[in-house]
Amino acid sequence: MTVPRLGAMTMSITREAILTILPSLSNKGKTRAARRARKPTQDNWIKAPRGKWLKCSYAKCGFEWQYFGGHHWAECPACHCVTKVAVARRIIKSR
């Protein structure tokens, strides 16, 4: 006894059907910026000013103060002489 054979079911798959199944094959869709992995967002904490303790390099002065500027040079509030921040920090660390 022979089993009747069902006709081979051929499905014509269109290009659009393939691209909906496999979206990585299409050039369209999400942009590169939308596909890239993103870091998780961080809390926006308020940044407090960070001061540096400086000591005046003038021998007769020696005043110590906290400096909040972001420059390389600082002016002593007592004697108004200008010193480099790196040198003034080195003086206060050497105590």
- What pLDDT does 38 receive? 74
Q: Is the pLDDT of residue 79 over 80?
A: yes
28-43 exposure pattern, b = at least 16 Cβ within 10 A, e = fewer: eeeeeeeeeeeeeeee
| Spans of all domains in the chain | 52-93
Over residues 13-59, the pLDDT tens digits come to 676 666 666 655 555 677 777 777 777 777 788 788 889 999 999 98
- What pLDDT does 35 receive? 74
Coil, strand or helix at 7: coil
Q: Is the pLDDT of residue 10 over 70?
A: no
Confidence band for 4, pLDDT divided at 50, 70 and 90 = low
